[in-house]
Structure 1
Amino acid sequence: MLDHIGSIEEITDYMLKTSKQFPSLYRVWLGPLPLVNISTADAAQIILTSPHCLEKSPIMVKALYPVSGDTILISKVPKWKYHRSIVIKGFTPTILEYYFGVFVEKSKILSRVLEKELDNTKSFDIFEYVSRASIDTICGSAMGVNINAQESESDYFNAVRNSFHIMFDRIFHIWKYPDWLFKLTKNYTKLKENQQICLELTSKVINEKRKNNEKMHEESEAIERNPFKKPLLEFLFDMTEKIPEFTDEQLQNEVHLVILAAFETSAMAISYTLLSLAANKDIQNKVYNEILSVFGTSQREIELNDLPKLEYLEMVIKEAMRLYPTIPLVGRVASQDIQVGKYFIPKGMILNVIIISLHRDENIWKDSLKFDPERFTPENIKSRHPYAYIPFSAGPRNCIGPKYAMMFMKTVISTLLRKYEFHTDLKMDKLKFEVELSLKLIGGHQVQMTPRNSVVKT
């Protein structure tokens, strides 16, 4: 009963090793709790598309509730379905085009802020910069509020990361489960402090947006706004006015979730991509050549119609998210007995789809630890199982923002690569991880930067 014990790093290593050792699905123990881990495409498809596996794992709910509240991330199916139908309005193709200007603006700020690291003889964690850009961007786009997170001090991203570390440490050590006991620990005090920091940011975003809306109304009651171009936060405001059950607390929770989910996943994916490019100079050069083919040596800003032209960059991002999926696993619970291949899974069993192991399955991905963007040519994609690659999860309860993420990532990475060349001393086959909500890289995404030479690389 002690399969999952030790530090989060040790448990992550154990999970990766056992996924290689056992086929399809296997049982492990978290204290007295039996879990079923799944790491093949066929089994993942059955679980993630089953109407009897829509409820989130109670373990994940326990870990995430103190950080996210009762939001679409962990809420029960009826509430999730209804609230998702509202939140997804902030990520339609039309509104994403409207957000693009914010992506460009915040990418330029990031590029400027990073100048301080030029020719630094010491490496630095690029995630710390990118995460602030991501927070800045999600607030400026989906929330319609400029918080200047890149050019002012903000403890938000540290508060989020610390909160997740505390809660995942708790769920992996079952003796910390009783609330009365957990409240006696130093971690509980730290968690409450971090929650307050997160609350301050979401309160600031909501209050600023309300002030802006009131000012616009005072200046001109005749302002006509395209209802399909409203920032997400305005749709959420509408819910608080029309639906009594959607309280201000629920509003704050959903705002926090969107900020949290967008900043954490996008920032992590960008950081892993830049680190991978730094470690694979030939691929970085090929991406840069593509950028030159689109922009030449001009200094013009990236435009929306440039994004589809950056095909190889998109392949690179997808390969980074294959090897280092920002969401390394998803947890569900069986609401009825289900059959997965030759295995019978009883009602109430907790199920974990181990995405990082699925993405490294040697039966699907030859030489799986090699960084090879060519895996994502249209021909190679067509020949693979549809659930072999699921960086944004899959099925009805998948992520609502993959198009937002890809647009933002391509904008940021192309902007940075036009100006900087990235380097690293890290050995990619020696990286160590911690599985929390996202795939945390122990020691950070350590890179160095030099000015970009505009001459085409070979």
Structure 2
Amino acid sequence: MEPSWLETRWARPFYLAFVFCLALVLLQAIKLHLRRQRLLRDLRCFPAPPTHWLYGHHKLLQDDEIEKLSEIIEKYPCAFPRWVGPFQAFLYIYDPDYAKILLSRTDPKSQFPNQFLSPCIGQGLLNLDGPKWFQHRHLLTPGFHLNILKPYAEVMVHSVSTLLDKWEAMLITQHTTVEVFEHINLMTLDVLLKCAFTQDTNCQINSSTDPYVKALFEFNKIIFHRTQSFLGHHDIIFNLSSEGQCFQELSQVLHHYTEKIIQDRKKSLQDERKRDNTQERKYQDFLDVVLSAQAEHGDIFSDTDLSAEVNTFVVAGQDTTAAGISWLLYCLALNPEHQQRCREEIRGLLGDKPSTIWDHLEEMPYTTMCIQEALRLLPPVPSISRELNKPLTFPDGRVLPAGMNVILSIWGLHHNPAIWENPKVFNPLRFSPENSDQRHPYAFLPFSAGPRNCIGQKFAMIQLKVSMALILLRFEVTPDPTRPPILSPQIVLRSKNGIHLFVKKIP
């Protein structure tokens, strides 16, 4: 029986559409197959742990990732490929010679996870590449000179004192358990807002009422959740989700806050110039530095660049510094003999005059070694990544092609038993002058190295020393054995259940 005219007319487009879609699916399948074969070929000289054809190494490293990574480092020297599903792989490296080769180059940072931050903070030093990154780095480096940083020590003393007053008010019993990361995170934000904008938000006391502080903390939570979710890595899926819509709203709050401060500061400076009455504040904040850079180089440093760099200073500095201080405090809680030795050293220098701490920052050798050992044992930034823009040849002759993503596992480097004896043991004497002189210069990289090292590392070290000195003068800390931290190595090394310590006031 002949098909009717209607059946023929309407069936043909559906058949054509079906064939077209099938062809697209087959084409995509071929592309993915070729991509997998290329990755297998490029990584064939790097042995890897057994991988699942679909999940890659996800199940292997899903639980206790840190512990599993330790086992892999011992079994596979220098590097191993980590598969994320069947069609994506990264080369993890944790050897100092490998790190030196990688960090001496100018390859761009990998898109993951910095692409998640860009909509909020803009294109600053954290996620720029190429000539523009070099321009910004050159313009902003003077802002981290010691003469600029010196007045910040007084700001830090004030903010840390606020934190310690809070803890003292919480001491209902002789020993009170405190989730220290939350409190220290607010303290570091307080410091950064004062040093970036000369803004005293009182966020350590009123964190739930200030719109900027609330938005920043919600933003950090969303970024953390997004890195954990495979579907959240896709912009379209994320933007359509409730978290994605909330992220857009939070970005607007943060942008408007920063923009208003910048415009108000510009207007204030213009008014002062008109009256020929320029008032000097107590210190030059980071906004002054970037405004000065814009005034001299406005052709290459726009208002958008200015806003991005100020946002980057606050967002990138907050969690990392808070993690560094919190993990250091945890290490000293676990090792009371080192805690007491640091306390005695600091007490001998400062007595009851913490305001003089700037003059003694270079006179704390044992405290500095403890800080360095904590940064080795629990690095705040556990890994950094690069996307190769040209082939890379490692010292042992193994080669990677352009386009490959390489992840330098700072945590793996700092726990590599080929470099560090008993790497899980907290031993500050590793950083004594005689031991440090014998170590590979790329074996300890808490602030990275090479041309893209952390521009704020001096600022971070000052804050670590100031915070630790003031805390140890007033409190003794011990671990809470019922709630040990569960490490979660994301953009910043966190604990899934917080960092709980017993805090006791020193008489």
Q: Structure 2 length as normaliser, TM-score?
A: 0.80
Q: How many aligned positions are there?
A: 444
Matched residue type, 1:144:
T
Match of 2:180 among 89, 101, 126: 126
What's the offset of the Cα at 1:185? 2.4
Task: Name the structure 1 match of 2:36.
Answer: none
* CA shift in 2, pair 1:300/1:269, >3 Å: closer
* CA shift in 2, pair 1:177/1:110, >3 Å: closer
Asked whether the 8 Å contact 1:155–1:197 carries over to 2, the reply is no
Task: Name the structure 2 match of 1:163.
Answer: 222
Is 2:253 the partner of 1:182? no
Give the 5 Å matches for 1:34-433.
Answer: 34-51=89-106, 54-120=107-173, 123-153=177-207, 154-170=213-229, 173=230, 175-199=231-255, 201-203=257-259, 205-206=261-262, 209-210=265-266, 213=269, 216-217=272-273, 220-221=276-277, 230-241=284-295, 242-244=297-299, 246-296=301-351, 298-299=352-353, 301-340=355-394, 341-426=396-481, 431-433=485-487
What's the offset of the Cα at 1:83? 1.0
SS in 2 for 1:123: strand
Provide the rounded CA distance (Å) in 1 between the counterparts of 2:460 and 2:132.
Answer: 25
Asked whether the 8 Å contact 2:154–2:355 carries over to 1, the reply is no
What's the offset of the Cα at 1:210? 4.2
Matched residue type, 1:72:
L
Task: Name the structure 2 match of 1:456.
Answer: none
SS in 2 for 1:366: coil
What's the offset of the Cα at 1:115? 1.7
Q: Which structure ranks higher in relative contact order (CA pairs < 8 Å, sequence separation ≥ 6)?
A: 1
SS in 1 for 2:452: coil
Matched residue type, 1:322:
R
Provide the rounded CA distance (Å) in 1 between the counterparts of 2:475 and 2:439.
Answer: 35
* More off after superposition, 314-323 vs 201-210: 201-210
* CA shift in 2, pair 1:169/1:24, >3 Å: same
Asked whether the 8 Å contact 2:100–2:442 carries over to 1, the reply is yes
* More off after superposition, 238-247 vs 79-88: 238-247
Asked whether the 8 Å contact 1:145–1:208 carries over to 2, the reply is no
Asked whether the 8 Å contact 2:96–2:413 carries over to 1, the reply is yes
* CA shift in 2, pair 1:427/1:367, >3 Å: farther
SS in 2 for 1:124: strand
| 1:389-440 deviation digits (Å, cap 9, x = unpaired) | 0000111101001111111111111111111111222489x64222222111
Task: Name the structure 2 match of 1:443.
Answer: 497
Task: Name the structure 1 match of 2:27.
Answer: none
* CA shift in 2, pair 1:405/1:15, >3 Å: same
Asked whether the 8 Å contact 1:264–1:438 carries over to 2, the reply is yes
Asked whether the 8 Å contact 2:393–2:399 carries over to 1, the reply is yes
Unaligned 5+ runs, structure 1: 454-458
* More off after superposition, 184-193 vs 330-339: 184-193
Asked whether the 8 Å contact 2:61–2:69 carries over to 1, the reply is no
Asked whether the 8 Å contact 1:5–1:11 carries over to 2, the reply is no
Asked whether the 8 Å contact 1:72–1:84 carries over to 2, the reply is yes
What's the offset of the Cα at 1:138? 1.8
| 1:216-271 deviation digits (Å, cap 9, x = unpaired) | 55775255799xx7432123224555525534333222111101122221111111
* CA shift in 2, pair 1:7/1:78, >3 Å: farther
* CA shift in 2, pair 1:203/1:333, >3 Å: same
Matched residue type, 2:178:
F
Asked whether the 8 Å contact 1:168–1:436 carries over to 2, the reply is yes
Provide the rounded CA distance (Å) in 1 between the counterparts of 2:366 and 2:279.
Answer: 42
SS in 1 for 2:386: strand
What's the offset of the Cα at 1:99? 2.1
Provide the rounded CA distance (Å) in 1 between the counterparts of 2:62 and 2:268.
Answer: 45
Matched residue type, 2:80:
Y
Asked whether the 8 Å contact 1:290–1:310 carries over to 2, the reply is yes
Asked whether the 8 Å contact 2:104–2:451 carries over to 1, the reply is yes
* CA shift in 2, pair 1:187/1:269, >3 Å: same
Provide the rounded CA distance (Å) in 2 between the counterparts of 1:146 and 1:100.
Answer: 15
Provide the rounded CA distance (Å) in 2 between the counterparts of 1:419 and 1:379.
Answer: 32
Provide the rounded CA distance (Å) in 1 between the counterparts of 2:367 and 2:259.
Answer: 37
Provide the rounded CA distance (Å) in 1 between the counterparts of 2:177 and 2:62.
Answer: 23
* CA shift in 2, pair 1:82/1:193, >3 Å: same
* CA shift in 2, pair 1:188/1:16, >3 Å: farther
Asked whether the 8 Å contact 1:64–1:167 carries over to 2, the reply is no
Asked whether the 8 Å contact 2:485–2:498 carries over to 1, the reply is no
